[in-house]
Amino acid sequence: MTRQPDAPSDTAPYGRPGPGDTSTAAATEWWRDAVIYQIYPRSFADGNGDGMGDLPGIRGRLAHLRDLGVDAVWLSPFYASPQADAGYDVADYRATDPLFGTLADAEALIREAHDQGLRIIIDIVPNHCSDQHAWFRRAVAEGPGSVLRERFHFRKGRGDNGELPPNDWESVFGGPAWTRLPDGEWYLHLFAPEQPDFNWDHPAVQDEFRSILRFWLDLGVDGFRVDVAHGMVKAPGLPDIGHGEQARLIGSQILPFFDQDGVHAVYRSWRAILDEYPGERIGVAEAWAPTLERLARYVRPDELHQGFNFHYLSTDWDADALRAAVDASLSALGAVGAPATWVLSNHDVVRHRTRLGGGLDRARAATLLMLALPGSAYLYQGEELGLPEVTELPDEVRQDPSFFRDSGQDGLRDGCRVPLPWSGTEPPYGFGAGDTWLPQPDDWAALTVQAQTGDPHSTLELYRSALAVRRAHPGLGAGDAVEWLPAPEGVLAFRRPGGLICTVNTTAGAVRLPLPPVRQLLSSRAPFAGPTPTGPSAAPVREIPADTTIWWAE
C-alpha cells in the first residue's frame, strides 16, 4: 500500500477531480460519490490545551484529512450551548460556543479547509433548541398566554388538576417527553428536558431557520447535516401513541412525532435556498425512517441531497443480510434519483470495530466493502486508525446525558467519543497539552497517527490507499447498481462498471473463489496470500481469507 501525496494534485487519473477539488469545473454533483469525514469537535484535536477539542485544533489537523483523501468534512455542533447534550442543545445558532473558539475561528476554518481542497458541512439542529435559547427563556418568563409559547409545544396537563402529561409520548432519552413548569403548563421535549421542541407549524420558526441557513451559507459552508430530520413536524393534535406493539420505536410504525409528511414542505423550501448558492451546497438528512422507501422521500430531486443509510449501518456481518441491504438501498434511493450513502460508525453508535465483532480484520473488511459500493461514504473520526469502542469508562467520567437516566438510550455513546490519539506513547497522545475531557486508554500508543504513518500494514495506510484507489479507478464511486457474481455461501462478489470486482468473505475460514482473469488492487488484510493455481485449463481460483475484502481489476 502507498500513502497519498502530501498535497492534492489538481487533477486525477480518468479525468476525475482531485481530492476535495472545490473548483467550479469540478462541481458537478460532487456529493454523489463524496467521501465525507465526520468530526466530533470536542474529541478531534485540542488547540488551547484545556483538554477539549476546538476549532483551532481542527484547523491545525486539516492536513491529516487532506492526506487521507476525503472530499468533505462534517462538523458536529459547535454553536453556543449550555452543553446539556454535547452541543445538540443550541442556545444561539449564529454564535460559536467559547469551548470551541469564536465565530472568527469558524470563518477561518471554513476558509482554510477550502484552501486545502476540503468542503465543510455543519450540523443544524432544527427539531429542538436549548432551554437557554432566547425565545424559550422569554416564553417561560412571560407565562401562560405568551405568544412565544406558540413557537414551542406548550400544553395544559391532563387529570383533575393538570398533573398528568398532555399525552403518553416518551423521550428518546427515557421518561416522559413532557416537563411541567411551576406555572402549571407542560412543554414537549423529545430528548432531554433542556431541549424543548420547536413548533414547526409556526411561521416564525420556519422563517428563523431559513435565515440561519443563509447566515452560514454566506460564511461559505458547503452544506448542512440535518439533525433529527425525521422529527420537527408532529401529528395534528399530538395524539397518544397507545401501548404494546404500536408504541415501539421500531418496525414500520409511523409515530405521531417522527417521519410526518409535513417535514417535506420544509425541505423543499430549504432546497430552494441551497440552490441559490454557487458550488452545489447540499443538505443531508439524519432521518430514522421506518423503511428505506420512507427515507427516499427525504431525498427526492426537490428536497435534500442525501440521507443517512441507517438500515445499512445496523446490518450484521452476514453475506445474505448485507446483500439484501445493498439491493434494498440501491433500489429505494435509485427510484428517486438519489445516491445511496454508506456508513459504519458515527458519534451515536458503537464503533464498528467493536460492534461487528471479529476485531480489526473484520472492521477493515467492512470498510473496504463500504467504499466499493456505488454512492457516497461517511467516515467517523478515528475509524481510519482502527480505534475500538472504549467500553471501560468509570461512571464518574461519563458525559452522555442518557447515561444518567433510568431508561432510553443505553448511555454508551461516550465510548465512541473518546479523544483521538495523534502521537506519542502515553495520554494525551498529542491531542492537547493536558488531561482530556474523556480519558484515553493507556494502550493506544500503536494506534496513533504518528505510529501508523508509513507502516504498510496499518489501518491508516489502508484507508489512505483505499481512498486513493477509489478516486482513481473508474469502477468505484458514483453509480446506482452492482452486478452480483456467483459465490459460495458466506461470500459476496460483485462487479462495478469499469472492470472492478469486489469480493468479501464473511465466514470464519478461508474460501476458494473462481474469478475471471484479474489482478489484485487492494486487500483489507495484509499480507495477501495471492492466487492459487489449479491447473492449466481451469479457471483462476483465488483464496480469500476469513473476514477479508479484496478489490480486483479485470
Q: Give me the phi and psi of 502, to 5 degrees please.
A: -120, 130
Decide: helix, strand or coil at residue 421: coil
Of 142, 207, 275, 276, the active-site residue reads: 276
Question: Does 227 qualify as catalytic in the annotation?
Answer: yes
Q: Cβ(487)–Cβ(512) under 8 Å?
A: no
State the cell numbers at 344: 459504519
- Tell me the C-alpha distance between 431 and 97, whole Å: 20
Which residues neighbour 351 within 8 Å (Cβ) at sequence distance 6 or greater? 345, 380, 382, 383, 387, 388, 389, 415, 416
Site of grid cell 440552490 = 275
- What residues contact residue 359 under an 8 Å CB cut-off, 6+ apart? 353
71: annotated active-site residue: no
Does residue 386 contact residue 364 with C-beta atoms inside 8 Å? yes
Long-range CB contacts (< 8 A, 24+ apart) of 469-473?
A: 469/521, 469/522, 469/551, 470/35, 470/69, 470/371, 470/372, 471/12, 471/16, 471/18, 471/19, 471/69, 472/12, 472/13, 472/14, 472/16, 473/14, 473/498, 473/500, 473/521, 473/553
**Of 71, 123, 197, 227, which one is the catalytic site residue?**
227
What distance in Å separates the CA atoms of residue 543 and residue 424, rounded to the nearest whole number?
38
Residue matched to cell numbers 424559550: 136
Residues involved in catalysis: 227, 276
